[in-house]
Amino acid sequence: MTQSPIRVLFVCHGNICRSTMAEFVLKDMVARRGLTEQFHIESAATSTEEIGNPVYPPARRKLARQLRRADYDAFDFIIGMDTANIRNMNWILGGDPDGKVLKLLEFAGTNRSVDDPWYTGDFETTYADVCDGCEGLLA
């Protein structure tokens, strides 16, 4: 019997920095562990303002998409980067009755937000936070 993959959706405001960074970091981590077939990993935005724009240059290539209500049933974990993301995610999803909506750094043992490098310009700290959260998720 084949087990269904663990479905993870990372979400941030525009899907051009943090959520795409988390998507590709986790994809790399599972590939290095030989777990690629056990995961399905994507990213999305809570807003439409960056849809169609490329990922912010320091964060890698992928086009943005907006979170949809149907994502709630399609994913096991829907992971936001900050408190505003979580609020917007719950609004778009119509709530979180199954406890799927989580903040990334909860997996690293803290309730801190992953700062948005669009505003801070600090991609190193964002990358370190994303790595910590993804390592915690895999653990």
Q: Looking at the annotation, which residues are catalytic?
A: 12, 18, 116
- Backbone Cα Rg of the chain: 14
| 114: its two tokens | 């992953």
Cα–Cα dist 61/93, whole Å: 26
State whether residue 117 is helix, strand or coil.
Answer: helix
Residue 34 CA to residue 89 CA, distance in Å, equals 31
CA 85 vs. chain centroid, Å, equals: 10
Burial per residue of 62-79, b for 16 or more beta-carbon CB atoms within 10 angstroms, e otherwise: bebbbbeeebbeebebbb
